Every structure is written in C-alpha cells, then in structure tokens.
Amino acid sequence: MLHMASQAIHFGTSGWRGIIADDFTFPRVRIASAAIAAHVLAHRKKPTLIVGHDTRFFSEEFARTSASVLRSSGCHVLLCGEATPTPAMAHAIIHNKLDGGVNITASRNPASYNGLKFSGPEGGPALPEVTKDIEKRAAALADDPAPHQESEGDFNAIDPRAPYFDQLHKMIRFDVLNRARGRFVCDAMHGCGAGWLDRILTESGITATAIRTKRDVLFDGSGPDPSEENLAPLKEALLGDKALAGLATDGDADRFGILDRDGSFISPHHILGLLFDYLLETRGHKLGASRSVATTHLLDAVAKLHGVQAYETLVGINYAGPLLREDKIVMGGEQSSGLTVRGHVPEKDGILACLLVGEMIAARQSSLTDQRSDLFRRIGREYWPVRVSLHLDEDAQASLPERLSADFKEFAGRHVASVNRRDGLKLIFDNDEWILMRPSGTEPLIRVYTEAGSLDESEKLAEQGRAWITQ
C-alpha cells in the first residue's frame, strides 16, 4: 500500500493540477482515474472515454497510466496517439458521442506542473457538482488498501484532427481569411498548438509561419502562458516577417495570445470585446455574451451597443455551457484568454480564437489597435483591465477570507457603489471601475483584477489592491 502524504486531490476551475513528483504523481493519477471511472460507471454501464495529453514532462506516460486504470475499472478507452489540443478532445467527445474524457494537461501553468482534467459528455469541463463527487471518491480510494489495477495491452487509437478541422471550417469564413493582405505568424509555445493552428491556415491557402513548434518540457524556462512577457520570440518573428498579426496558443491550445502588426500585445479582454462586436456584425445572431466575474465590462458595453444581453458567470468557461445550450449567447469569454462561440464546443478554444482574429483582420482591413480605438469611440468610453498575481505566506492566506468578508463602504478612498461576492470579492465603484480579489483556481496564488477608464488608473487600483492584501 502506498501512503499518500500529500493533500487531497482537488479539482479547481479547470481540473486538478499539481507540481510533478510532489503532488502530481503516478499513484495519485491512478487514484484520480479510478475515482473518475467510479463516477462515470455510476451513470453509465459501459462508458467510452477519450484520453489525451499535452507536451509536458511525462504527460504521455501519465495518460497511459490513466487509460489503464480506466479500462481495468470497466471503461472502454480511446487513446490519442499524439499530443492533442484540449478543444480537439472536446470536439471528439461530442462528435463521437462519448461519455467524457480525461486530459493530462496543466494548460498554461509553469513547467513544474502537470494536471488532469475531466470533461463530461457535453464536451466541456466538468461542473463542480461532478468534480466534488470525484473528489469524494478519490478521498475514499486514497484510504483503500486495495491497489488500483492497470490493464495490460494496447488501446484503441483515436485521431481527432480531421473532424475537428471540419468543425473549424464550419465556424470560420476562410474565404474572408484568404483576403488577408499579408501573412500571420503562429507561436505554439512548444505546446499542443504545433501542427494544428499553422497547419489549418496553410492547408486553407493562408500564408503562415510557425515558431516554437518542437517539444520543450521546460517551455523556454518561462512556461506556456501566452502573456505579453512570454511572447517576445513571437514579437521578433512578427516584426521580422512584417506580418499582420502574431497568433499564439498556450500549452494545451485552449487559450490565445495576440500581437498586433506593430508587435504590441493586445489584451485578451480587448480581443473578447472586438470579437463579440465582430460576431454580432457578421453572424446574424441577435444573441448576447457571457463573461466571468473577472472579465472586462467591455462585453457589457458591446452588448448594450447592439441591444443584446450580457450574462455574468462564476470564473470558468464551463459556466458558459448552459447558456450556449439554451441559445442565449453567441460567445462566452473569460479573463484568462478563454473563448467559446455558439455552434462550437463548450470549452475554451485558442485555435478558434486565433482564426477568428485573423478573419476579423482580413474582413476589416485594419490593425487591431485601430479596431479597438474605433470600438471605444462607438461605445463612448475606454476599458483597461489589469491582473496581478500575489504569493502570500500561510498566515496571510489564512486571514484573507475573513478580511474579504468584511463590509466595504469605501476602498482606497473610492466610494463603493456595489459589492459582488459571487466568486471572490468584487467592489464596483461609482464610474463602473472595479476591483476583484479571489484565490486562483489552478495555482496557490491570490489574483487581483481591476478595470478602469485608463491603463494608469487600472494599474494604480491594482497596486492599491496589492497593498491592502499584503498590509
């Protein structure tokens, strides 16, 4: 019997993640997989699950271990033969009418992490009522002296690429994209997007080059998060090629990062606002958008501009799924470069987002910076979001929940117009500027989100939030 000294397996906003060889280990992957199998078998006698993985250290081996436990537990398993983007796996679940999927990925987390995500039959990340049941089963299994068996032999293979590409051709107007007057540069950041985003572009006749396509489990030492500081190689390639835009995907290709033609980083919040406006103009849907509580209110302003509704959700793209199924929204967006659209999968898709950005550039024949300025002009004000991540010591983390539960009439000299506690503490001020403070769902961090009418004011508010938390 293996003694599990680590803390209980916990699924955050996008699966269970942990540091490799500390929290994320083979014995714990076996326990999590056995718990998933027990959950699925409680609802279906002969379930079929897809298992895939990203390009991280030992991801393929973790995936085979998970697949073996699932099969020995009574599940039929389809195993991806190569590193596969999360959105492609989500589409495979829907396309093949599977009962769910297990994906070994830590998405954009640092290289020291790996993770396990479970998706249900609708293709999106499992909702809390599902993950809590899996956590409960995992806790019971951790104390079970019986070993978690693995089955021997090969698995039935699945290649989701062709059906996923067919789906993208339904979602993207490639005839418009072909009118782009220039090339695009794709940055896979050594993750799953390599051979997917660049390949569908070139196969569709669009000029594109790709960088950082080879596997590097250290991800250049910076991690596969498509943040501004991590996209310096993309900026260099973009300016060297004089390209229209730089299109980046994160470790599992569910998130995006965008550089304009001059190499400037365009906030994912601004990309969400631009794409919502563009989709309403071009897709003929009089539908709204959803945004998480941590996402820009620019989406609300675009909704008001077009006479549609904006819906606020908890953090996590999984909360957009019900609104998509109810046909209430054309797009779901979240703060961490997450996008999904009507008719696609209820999962973040960085490849789709990059293609939509390319289509929008080709259709409007203007830079993203100019398009953003025009959108701000039509709305009548600007929106500049900022995010800060804080590492706190144990004492500060322990005292923070009580401090966040206090009553607030003002904050840093600002009058608090309303308080939102749906997911963390969000203070909204008189001029619709706001600050949100909440624990990360995927890392041991406290996130501070702010938004104001200028970047300087947003950064000032973020610094005031940092000072309040750390005082």
373 contacts: CB under 8 Å, gap ≥ 6:
none
Rounding to the nearest 10 degrees, give the CA dihedral for residues 14, 15, 20, 22: 120
Report the distance separating Cα 341 and Cα 8, nearest Å.
34
Q: Where are the domains of the chain?
A: 16-159, 162-266, 267-348, 384-470
Domain 384-470: top CATH class? alpha beta
Alpha carbons within 13 angstroms on the beta-carbon side of residue 328 total 15
- Cβ–Cβ contacts within 10 Å for residue 469, how many? 17
Q: What pLDDT is recorded for position 144?
A: 72
Q: What pLDDT is recorded for position 2?
A: 37
CATH fold match for the domains 16-159 and 267-348: yes
Residue 156: which of 100, 78, 84 has the closest Cα? 78
Q: What pLDDT is recorded for position 5?
A: 43
Phi/psi of residue 445, each to 5°?
-135, 160
Report the distance separating Cα 292 and Cα 214, nearest Å.
33
**One-letter amino acid identity for 100?**
G
Report the distance separating Cα 263 and Cα 241, nearest Å.
11
Largest CA distance in the chain: 65
Can you give the length of the chain in residues?
A: 471
Q: What pLDDT is recorded for position 18?
A: 94
Alpha carbons within 13 angstroms on the beta-carbon side of residue 368 total 30
Q: What pLDDT is recorded for position 443?
A: 66
Report the distance separating Cα 234 and Cα 193, nearest Å.
14
- Reply yes or no on domain 162-266 having CATH 3.40.50.300: no
Q: What pLDDT is recorded for position 375?
A: 98
CATH homologous superfamily of 16-159 equals Alpha-D-Glucose-1,6-Bisphosphate, subunit A, domain 3 (3.40.120.10)
Report the distance separating Cα 126 and Cα 15, nearest Å.
8
Sheet with 310-313: strands ordered across: 310-313, 288-292, 329-334, 338-341
Report the distance separating Cα 455 and Cα 449, nearest Å.
13
Q: Helix (H, G, I), strand (E, B), or coil: what is residue 102?
A: strand
Digit-by-digit pLDDT tens for the chain (471 residues) are 333 445 789 998 789 999 999 999 999 999 999 999 999 999 999 999 999 999 999 999 999 999 999 999 999 999 999 999 999 999 999 999 999 999 999 999 999 999 999 999 999 999 999 999 999 999 999 877 566 777 777 899 999 999 999 999 999 999 999 999 999 999 999 999 999 999 999 999 999 999 999 999 999 998 999 999 999 999 999 999 999 999 999 999 999 999 999 999 999 999 999 999 999 999 998 999 999 999 999 999 999 999 999 999 999 898 999 999 999 999 999 998 999 999 999 999 999 999 999 999 999 999 999 999 999 999 999 999 999 999 887 777 778 888 888 899 999 999 999 999 999 999 999 888 999 998 876 667 889 999 999 999 999 999 999 999 988
The hierarchical CATH code for the domain 267-348 is 3.40.120.10
319 contacts: CB under 8 Å, gap ≥ 6:
127, 290, 292, 313
User: 123, 94 in Cβ contact below 8 A?
Assistant: yes
Q: Does the global pTM surpass 0.75? A: yes
